[in-house]
Each structure stands twice: as C-alpha cells, then as structure tokens.
C-alpha cells in the first residue's frame, strides 16, 4: 500500500505539479488512512471500503479534527482512488458519497481598513531590515500575494514602471497583479539597499547575508510587525485576506477578486462576502468603469493583438508531415533519383547552402527551394531544368502545407476580436494567411522569411507595432513558444499570452508570460477580465 501511495505522490509532484505544501498536506492525510488500515489489518487499497473509511472519519472527528480538515482528507482519498482506478489497481472509491461532519463556518480573519493603515502608515527607520520589512508588508496588502508567491518572487517579475507584478501561483499558473503606489514606493526604497547586500540570486527579498528569505523568516517578520504596530498576532495570509475583503467591499466584483487571488473555484472567494454567498446578480457585476487602478488603465489601452500561426491557430505537426509526404510523392513520380535520397542528404545540402548563404537562415521557403535545386543538379539535371523542377516540387510542398484546418475555435475568436482590436500576424513559418483563408481577419501579416529576421528578435515585434501604429504598451502577442513568442514579445515591451493547450509548466529559465490560456476560446474573456 505504501509503495502505491509513493507512486501517487510522485504523480502529484511530477505530472500534476502541485505545490510542495499541497503535496505535504495530501501525504500527511493519506498517512493517517494508511496507519488506520495497518491497525485494522486492511492489507490493500482494494480492501478499504466505505464502512472502514466512515469509521476513520468518525474517530478523527471525535479526536478533535475539524470539518475542514476531514474534508481535505476525503479529497485526498478521492484523488488517490481516482489515480488507482486509472492505473487499473482498484475499481471502487470508498470516499464516494461520504461527506465530513458539518462544522461551524469560519470566516477568514482580516484587518479592518483603519488597522491596515495603522500597520502600514507608521514611521519607517532608515535601515536595511526596516525598509525590507515595509516592502514585504506593503506588497502582501497591495497585491494579495500568497506567502509562497512572495517568497519565490524574482526581480524580473517586478515592473515598477507600470505598477505590475507577475507571480507563479498554485499549479504553476501565472497571473499579473497591480502594485499600488505605496507598495511601489516601498520597493523603490528597498531595492537599492538590497543591491548593497551582494545577493546570491535574483530574489526580491533577501537576508543581510544576501540569501533569499524563506517562508519561516517572512512569517517571523510579519508577526513581529503585528505585535509592534498593532499589539496582535499577524500572519501573511491575514494580509491576503484583508486585501481580498477590502477589494470586494470597494468593487463589489466577486469575479475580479477571484482572478486577483488566483482561485480556481469562485466558491473559495465567496468566503469574503458577508454571507459566504454571491452578491446580488451572482456577485459578478461589471467592474466599475472608473479605471482607478494602474493595471486597469494599462490594460484598457489594448489596441493591437498579434498572433503566431503554427501551433497557435492550428496543429502544425501533421500539416508539415503531410506536406513532406506530398513532396516525396511528387519526387517519386517525377524524379525518382532525387526522391530516393535519404533525409540525411537533404539535411547535409541544407547545411551547405546555409554556409554559403547565411542570410537565408530565416527565409525558409527560399532555403528549401535552393536545397531542392542543388539536389536536382547533383542528380544530373542541367541548371535551368533543375531550377524549373525545384519550382514545381516546391509548389507541391507549399500547396500541401496550406491544406490545413484551423482549430475549430480560431475563426469565431478572430471574428469576435476583430470588432474591437487591430489584429496582426507574426510568424517564423512560411504559412500565408491568404492561402489559409484567414486573411480577412488580419490587418497585416509579418513573416520572418519576408523580412529576414525571426522571433524572438525584438525588431520583428517593433515592425508590427509600426504597422499597427501603436506603442508597445497597447499591444499583446499570443503564441505557443516560450522563447520565440513570450520572451520575444516581452523583450520588445509587448505583453505576452502563452497558448498552452497541454498545460505544460514554465520551463527553467523561461520568461513568465503575462497570462496563459489552454484554449483560444479563453482569449476574449481574458481580455475582458483585464479591462
């Protein structure tokens, strides 16, 4: 049983990418179930039934476990049995139909606005620790960060000029949050002192020895500030709760607060309403149109959205495989001697062409044509005929390359966005939106092979800004590649939306996107939520 439990925890860590804290909590709860099974001589997960699990829940409740803790334990059991059933190791779930004993609903503890001002508006001594701790308190309250998010914060996630911070939350999901004026001022006073401490990495908050502050150290400093300024216990999550409660009081927009907090389920956010239920109208009122937050002003200025094509508007791998097969088929029929050449020989010819003409690196159509022409010449075709054969063969490839079907949601999404934004294309590929049938949606299309530079080169994005007649602050780029699309766009000053249908984690060294979506249908709603 323990071996299967270890395998499930490895699945949570490696495939589900849950946070270390969540993994530790699940393991702790499931160890209670495992200990109970050993005591009751239940020797396999198959043998644990609903009666046994109900007995364990009753014992834990009698021992003082809260309803919330028991609910989490049942959730952990359901997750374990979902995994075991999927792996063919079980065919039941003993937690199915079980509910924890009802407990008293506990509201999150918060500071009222007067107490929050008392905490943050006092005099700050002009030294390393005081300015660091003030910046920590201000950022917790200004942006509603989790402790783990603030602990893991790096310099490149801060944009003080625009008043934004990008955080990596639960499930490796990123979100961009506004940073208030007071928090920006506190950070601007703290960062020069940080630089004098010889930091060992890019952590925003460090010790006097230059090392990243850990969760426990931050908890201790926050607690000390609460005792000193308020005479009460204070912890980081109380500041997050206060941020959420005060934001909801002022905006009456439950959905907006959900997005700011990074809650996957709006029910989690409903605890901040007086009754725990949505406000009238489902608590999903339109956000006030005053545009008072810096983030609101910035995001409402979006005028241009640029798109990558391959693997963003359609699945490109089967398209290229089909196009290569069509080219090979043409060669087999019309030039068998060339068609019989191994792929390695075409790769060698490509390297030879690039060595002689490095300027063709990003002009992939011309490069492919040159490779074909040299292959025909090697096969004994005279130069004029080799060129003509390369022309026809390349057309067979490029025709098949455009026999593609966009994702079903692509055209409805483009049609909806085109009514409100300028749309453009920035692609490193040789797809032509005219031949694909999408040209009517776009105001311009930039292909690396037409210009001679490729993403992530910032000049390609700057050319798009010039075509659209907008500043970088008014543009968003959408693409699937963390380097070419996300890093390239951000380097040029655009915001970047990562199209990530397989929900991959952010790679080591990759730039964090401003947002990520798993389906193109999410993009219009994302833009609306930003506004």
Burial degree of 66 (CB within 10 A; 0-12, 13-18, 19+): middle
- Half-sphere exposure at residue 192, Cβ-oriented, CA atoms within 13 angstroms: 6
Residue 443 a catalytic site member = no
For 356-383, the DSSP string reads H-GGGTT-HHHHHHHHHHHHHHHTT--H
Phi–psi pair at 109, nearest 5 degrees: -80, 130
Q: Determine which one of 13, 263, 420, 443 is catalytic.
A: 263
Residue 228 a catalytic site member = no
Residue 272 a catalytic site member = yes
Give residues with Cβ within 8 angstroms of 481, minimum separation 6.
308, 311, 455
For 495, which DSSP code?
E
Interstrand relation of 515-517 and 174-178 (parallel, antiparallel or unpaired): unpaired
The three-class DSSP label of residue 172 is helix
Angle of helix 215-229 relative to helix 128-143, nearest 10 degrees, comes to: 90
Q: Determine which one of 240, 241, 255, 495 is catalytic.
A: 240
Residue 240 a catalytic site member = yes
Q: Determine which one of 8, 81, 141, 272 is catalytic.
A: 272
- Is there a contact between 186 and 146 (Cβ–Cβ < 8 Å)? no
User: What tokens does 530 get?
Assistant: 């930003």
Residue 92 a catalytic site member = no
Q: Determine which one of 182, 237, 285, 328 is catalytic.
A: 237
Give the integer Cα–Cα distance in Å for 478 and 464: 13
Q: Determine which one of 146, 362, 455, 477 is catalytic.
A: 146
Give the integer Cα–Cα distance in Å for 140 and 150: 8
Quick one: which H or E segment has residue 226? Answer: helix 215-229
Residue 246 a catalytic site member = no
Pick from 233, 195, 198, 228: which is nearest to 125 by CA? Answer: 228
Burial degree of 318 (CB within 10 A; 0-12, 13-18, 19+): exposed
User: What tokens does 305 get?
Assistant: 């959205």
Give the integer Cα–Cα distance in Å for 195 and 210: 9
Q: What is the 3-state secondary structure (H, E, C) of 228-285?
A: HHCCCCCCHHHHHHHHHHHHHHHHCEHHHHHHHHCCCCHHHHHHHCCCCCCCCHHHEC
Residues assigned a catalytic role = 146, 170, 237, 240, 263, 272
């Amino acid at each position: 049983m323990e071996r299967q439990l270890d395998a499930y925890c490895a699945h949570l860590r490696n495939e589900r990418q849950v946070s270390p804290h969540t993994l530790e909590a699940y393991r702790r709860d499931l160890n209670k179930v495992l200990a109970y099974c050993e005591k009751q001589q239940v020797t396999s997960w198959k043998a644990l039934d609903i009666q046994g699990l109900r007995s364990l829940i009753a014992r834990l409740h009698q021992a003082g476990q809260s309803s919330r803790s028991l609910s989490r334990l049942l959730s952990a059991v359901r997750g374990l049995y979902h995994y075991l059933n999927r792996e063919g190791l079980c065919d039941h779930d003993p937690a199915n139909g079980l509910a924890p004993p009802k407990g008293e609903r506990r509201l999150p503890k918060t500071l009222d606005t007067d107490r929050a001002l008392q905490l943050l508006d006092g005099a700050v001594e002009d030294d390393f620790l005081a300015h660091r701790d003030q910046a920590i308190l201000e950022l917790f309250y200004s942006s509603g960060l989790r402790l783990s998010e603030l602990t893991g914060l790096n310099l490149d996630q801060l944009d003080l000029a625009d008043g934004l911070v990008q955080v990596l939350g639960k499930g490796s999901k990123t979100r961009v949050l506004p940073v208030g004026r007071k928090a920006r001022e506190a950070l601007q006073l703290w960062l020069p002192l940080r630089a004098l401490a010889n930091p060992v990495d890019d952590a925003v908050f460090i010790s006097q020895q230059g090392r990243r502050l850990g969760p426990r150290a931050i908890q201790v400093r926050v607690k000390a500030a609460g005792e000193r300024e308020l005479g009460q216990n204070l912890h980081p999550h109380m500041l997050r709760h206060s941020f959420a409660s005060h934001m909801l009081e002022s905006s009456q927009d439950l959905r907006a607060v959900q997005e700011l907090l990074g809650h996957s389920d709006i029910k989690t956010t409903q605890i901040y309403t007086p009754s725990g239920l949505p406000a009238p109208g489902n608590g999903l009122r339109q956000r006030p149109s005053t545009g008072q937050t810096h983030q609101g002003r910035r995001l409402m200025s979006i005028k241009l959205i640029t798109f990558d094509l391959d693997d963003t508007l359609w699945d490109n791998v089967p398209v290229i495989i089909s196009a290569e097969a069509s080219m090979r088929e043409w060669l087999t029929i019309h030039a068998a001697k060339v068609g019989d050449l191994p792929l390695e020989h075409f790769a060698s010819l490509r390297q030879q062409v690039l060595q002689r003409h490095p300027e063709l690196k990003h002009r992939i159509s011309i490069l492919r044509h040159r490779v074909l022409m040299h292959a025909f010449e090697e096969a004994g075709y005279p130069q004029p005929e080799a060129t003509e054969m390369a022309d026809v063969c390349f057309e067979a490839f490029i025709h098949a390359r455009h026999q593609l079907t966009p994702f079903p949601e692509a055209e409805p999404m483009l049609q909806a966005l085109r009514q409100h934004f300028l749309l453009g294309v920035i692609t490193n590929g040789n797809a032509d939106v005219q031949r694909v049938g999408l040209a009517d949606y776009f105001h311009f299309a930039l292909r690396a092979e037409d210009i001679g530079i490729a993403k992530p080169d910032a000049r390609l994005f700057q050319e798009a800004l010039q075509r659209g007649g907008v500043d970088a602050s008014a543009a968003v780029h959408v693409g699937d590649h963390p380097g070419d699309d996300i890093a390239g766009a951000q380097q040029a000053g655009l915001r970047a939306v990562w199209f990530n249908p397989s929900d991959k984690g952010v790679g080591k060294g990759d730039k964090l996107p401003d947002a990520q979506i798993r389906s193109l249908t999410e993009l219009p709603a994302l833009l609306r939520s930003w506004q």
